[in-house]
Amino acid sequence: MAFQDYSLIQAPMAGGLSTADVVAGASRAGALGSVGAGYLSGDAIMAAAEGVRAAGGDAFAINLFIPAERDATDPEWRAALKALSPCYRQAGVPVPDDFPPLPDFREQFEAMLEARPAVFSWTFGRLPKSMMAACRARGITLVGTATQRDEALALAGDGVDGIVLQGEEAGGHRGGADPRGEGLPLDELLSACRDIGTPLIAAGGLMDGADVARVMAAGAATGQLGTAFLRCPEAGTAEGWRQALADAGPDATAVTRAVSGRWARGIANAWMDGRAPTEVAPYPDQHRLTSPLRKAAGAEWKSLWAGTGAHRSRALPVEELVRVIEEERRAVGR
């Protein structure tokens, strides 16, 4: 597939944000919609793909998270849980006795193959060659994620069809292989990678057509937008999250590692200040430890992921938003 054929890509947003209506609506409007399936079981992935197709979505992507290389040690787990106890107490949420594991990646991958999306994208590392071959056999386009030039070079060497270059302005988790890796501003990252030869998909802080035109002029095949879709009525964004986006100013976001063990950007709250724990388990165990708190607490302890462009978000239906962004892009000559 040619990424240049798409006016833009609706970013995969895990946690129920990129609903079937969001993905299908983006597809119907000429963008590439993406299912954020990182936290979904195999059955849920199949149901999500069926939902997108039932809603009129044609070509779309499914995104998964590459598993971490190791689990937390017992001392790391106990230290992180102890550090989180005051957070649970401040939020008025009891510490549970059990923290369910995340879905098995192999199960997720097999479900993705069965769902047969047009594109399989992933974050947090590289895909084994055997899995790449399985996708190729089904005609599935492959897209990895990089936050540094060396990551982009490794993905290009693996033979991916496209690389998402995720700048530090992006909302949610940094998608590179190194969980402690430093981010780079998108323009700097794009400049460092434009000679690689693999189609580049720019992501991070893009909110309108002028932003997309800018990165395309700098060498990207297209732009990927996530935060821009969070206030669409079709998105699975909680009401408090929507309000936080509506109220956001230019400096509303910050980064934290305390939520999941990986750096992530969101609307600044307790996770980004002195109330956040300093002892943090590696990803994904920190995510498991904080999940019950984030689900049960108020807005101060939720993970309100959003990029630096949050203050420019628009509450428009998905198809209208895609059309408006495309009109804005064309207006500046790209």
Burial code of 69-82, b = ≥16 C-beta within 10 A, e = fewer?
Answer: eeebeeebbebbbe
CA distances from 186 to 71, 287, 307, 323 (A): 31, 26, 12, 24
d(CA 185, CA 166): 9
- Residue-wise pLDDT for 90-142, tens only, equals 999 999 999 999 999 999 999 999 999 999 999 999 999 999 999 999 999 99
**Could you tell me the residue range of the domain that residue 54 belongs to?**
3-331
Query: Has residue 5 got a pLDDT over 90?
Result: no
DSSP 199-217: -EEEESS--SHHHHHHHHH
Query: Has residue 306 got a pLDDT over 60?
Result: yes
pLDDT band at 61 (very low <50, low <70, confident <90, very high): very high
pTM, to two decimals = 0.96
The whole-number pLDDT of residue 12 equals 97
Is residue 31 within 8 A of residue 11, CB to CB? The reply is: no
The whole-number pLDDT of residue 213 equals 96
pLDDT band at 328 (very low <50, low <70, confident <90, very high): very high
d(CA 277, CA 303): 14
Q: Can you tell me the mean pLDDT for 24-33? A: 96
Is residue 20 within 8 A of residue 48, CB to CB? The reply is: yes
pLDDT band at 186 (very low <50, low <70, confident <90, very high): very high
Question: What CATH number did the domain enclosing 62 receive?
Answer: 3.20.20.70
The beta strands (E) that lie in the chain are given as 9-10, 33-36, 60-65, 119-123, 141-146, 162-166, 172-173, 200-203, 222-225, 253-256, 264-267
- Residue-wise pLDDT for 208-218, tens only, equals 999 999 999 99
The amino acid at residue 46 is M
The whole-number pLDDT of residue 25 equals 97
DSSP state of 149: H
**pLDDT above 70 covers what percent of the chain?**
99
d(CA 276, CA 256): 9
What mean pLDDT is reported for the chain?
96
Is residue 226 within 8 A of residue 172, CB to CB? The reply is: yes
d(CA 262, CA 264): 6
The whole-number pLDDT of residue 325 equals 97
Q: Can you tell me the mean pLDDT for 224-235? A: 98
Query: What is the three-class DSSP state of 242?
Result: helix
The whole-number pLDDT of residue 334 equals 56
DSSP state of 232: S
How many domains does the chain contain in total? Answer: 1
